[in-house]
Amino acid sequence: MKQFIASLSLFLTLSAAAQQKITIDPSARHQTMEFFGAADAWSGNFVGKYWAPERKAEIADWLFSQEVDASGNPVGIGLDIWRVNLGAGTLEQADADIYPYQRRAESYKTVDGKSYDWGKCAGHEYFMQAAKDRGCNQFILFSNSPLVQYTKNGKGYAPTDNASNLKEDCYDDYADYLVDVTEHLMDKGFNIPYISPINEPQGDWNTPRQEGSPWRNGEMFRMTQELDRALGRSSKFDHVRILLGEANRMKMLYTNRPKMFARFENDSLECPGRQLFIFFDRQSPYYVGGLKHIENEFTAHPYHDHFTSADLREVHRLAADEFRKYGVTYHSSEWCLLPVSKQYGGITADWARGNHADMQAALMMARIIYSDFVDTDAVSWCYWKGMELKGDHALVSLHATDGDIHKGGHATPNKMLWTLGNFSRFIHSGYVRVAVDGADDLDTLAATAFISPEGDSLVAVFINSSFEDKLVELSLPKALKKKISSVSSYRTDARHDLAKTITGQGCSHTIGARGVTTIVIDLQK
């Protein structure tokens, strides 16, 4: 009996010690969120044009729906913005050599470039309308390359790796094109608050793998000026903001990579690094602060800087210092899996074989989202491709009939989709990130929390990267505890896809191993 009592006492002691106290303080507030999103890239146009209505609708539901099924499980992840690719027109080029062809993109220009054909890009517009029908009526128009009619080599990729492919006498033409398309889509009822005219200016775009162009800082500045001018032709564009940057890694915000520096002839002014200084320091010749359609905000892609959790957080914190120095707001506008992800455990052999139910990659994404929010105060977060053949880099995997995307096919959601949904489905515009103490380890347990603008909902997202469940006790202010009307939880792991689950009672919850859990606390006003 004594032995039993001793064993029970030890069990209770260990159980108590295993419980992790998480303090959430809604009075300590950080950034206000703007949106979560993804991009149609090039695949959206093919699927929107050629796939069966029920298959297209299924994909749209996964991406945009805010409905729940009969069991209370979310039907989709409720994205509240959609990035729309304004292609360079490589799809219609008789001599286009971008491979695979599914990465070629259509434009609204006729092949000769002399007029518009507003019946084109119908697939893109299908998903815009599908998003709008499901409650998402915000769109970012982004471009990877200038129109082929305006490029130096007549291609959608560049002849060099250290200068823009845009002809010197076509900056104004390209800006007018972007605004003409914006007007066309606005006239169709779509809300276009953002245009992003340049993508990854640091990239090596001199091979035909997709549309793209490098840009010098001076060229970016000139293009931004021309787009600002073009938007100024009518008051209907007063609300439209130019999203500047789309840097291909966070380090470009505060330093120059040696190899890239050499590519740009060691020119500290023209090399597209130190970009927050280049564009937001009042002493810089490329200061954009005086442009009407520019606000103090910058976009970047958190690629390549996270071989360990420590690396990730160090880079993000250094970038945050730079953002604070210049008073600039950060948008995390693109991330996806890349082949190099296997170097830091992001892609398992199972994933590479097409098992996109594997959680390793999804957990890596969740950790990046966490660092973007907590370490860099990002106000938005967008995945790269919403859909793609094979789906290695996408939220939704496309399986084309006979391998031909023109023949239709079927789609399957990836773990990336549902993991992003642990954030995007419950955190929307106006939500404010609040202080969390007691869970800040990306390799074990990390938690972040947000409160709704009305103060009637508190959302906490837990990332458990460890191989064991975590018992947590949420500590809330007494005044807040009295307002609790209901608590719901949603889990994504190897066996669950944003499933409504029972994690505990009151403020005590079990956070499952190798997964992401969202706890939604509804409050009385």
* Domain 34-429: homologous superfamily in CATH: Glycosidases (3.20.20.80)
Q: Tell whether the model's pLDDT for residue 13 goes beyond 50.
A: no
Residue 370 near residue 363, CB atoms below 8 Å: no
Q: Tens digits of per-residue pLDDT, 355-409?
A: 777 798 899 999 999 999 999 999 999 999 999 998 888 999 999 999 999 999 9
Q: Tell whether the model's pLDDT for residue 3 goes beyond 50.
A: no
Q: Give the pLDDT score at 345.
A: 62
Q: Where are the domains of the chain?
A: 16-29+436-523, 34-429
Any bridge partners for residue 74, and if so which? 68
Q: Would you place residue 8 in the very low, low, confident or very high pLDDT band (cuts 50, 70, 90)?
A: very low
Q: What would the CATH number be for the domain defined by 16-29+436-523?
A: 2.60.40.1180
Q: Tell whether the model's pLDDT for residue 95 goes beyond 60.
A: yes
CA angle 41, 46, 52 (to 5 degrees): 130
Percent share of the chain, pLDDT over 70: 95
C-alpha span between 190 and 420 (Å, rounded): 24
Question: Strands 35-39, 508-511: parallel, antiparallel or unpaired by DSSP?
Answer: unpaired
Q: Give the pLDDT score at 10.
A: 36
The answer to whether 16-29+436-523 and 34-429 have equal CATH topology is no
Average pLDDT rounded to a whole number, residues 49-66? 98
Q: Give the pLDDT score at 9.
A: 39
Average pLDDT rounded to a whole number, residues 482-499? 95
Q: Give the pLDDT score at 337.
A: 83
Q: Would you place residue 301 in the very low, low, confident or very high pLDDT band (cuts 50, 70, 90)?
A: very high
Average pLDDT rounded to a whole number, residues 465-490? 94
> Among the residues of 32-170, which ranges form H helices?
43-50, 53-64, 122-133
Q: Tens digits of per-residue pLDDT, 334-362?
A: 999 887 766 666 677 777 777 777 798 89
Q: Would you place residue 308 in the very low, low, confident or very high pLDDT band (cuts 50, 70, 90)?
A: confident
Percent share of the chain, pLDDT over 90: 86
Q: Give the pLDDT score at 390.
A: 85
Q: Tens digits of per-residue pLDDT, 142-197?
A: 999 999 999 999 999 999 999 999 999 999 999 999 999 999 999 999 999 999 99
Average pLDDT rounded to a whole number, residues 516-524? 96
Q: Give the pLDDT score at 479.
A: 86
Cis peptide bond N-terminal to 302, omega within 30: no
Instruction: Average the pLDDT over each of 54-68, 224-238, 293-307, 408-422 and give the range with the smallest value.
Output: 293-307
Looking at the whole model, is its pTM more than 0.85? yes
- Look over the chain and give the mean of its residue pLDDT values, rounded to a whole number: 93
Q: Give the pLDDT score at 342.
A: 65
Residue 227 near residue 195, CB atoms below 8 Å: yes
Q: Tell whether the model's pLDDT for residue 299 goes beyond 90.
A: yes
Instruction: Average the pLDDT over each of 77-86, 120-129, 193-202, 302-311 and give the range with the smallest value.
Output: 302-311
Q: Give the pLDDT score at 343.
A: 61
Q: Give the pLDDT score at 16.
A: 45
Q: Give the pLDDT score at 354.
A: 73
C-alpha span between 441 and 217 (Å, rounded): 37
Q: Is the C-alpha dihedral spanning 235, 289, 377, 369 positive or negative?
A: positive
Q: Tell whether the model's pLDDT for residue 4 goes beyond 70.
A: no
Average pLDDT rounded to a whole number, residues 502-513? 90
Q: Give the pLDDT score at 73.
A: 97
Going by C-alpha positions, the residue among 91, 89, 92, 84 that lies closest to residue 127 is 84
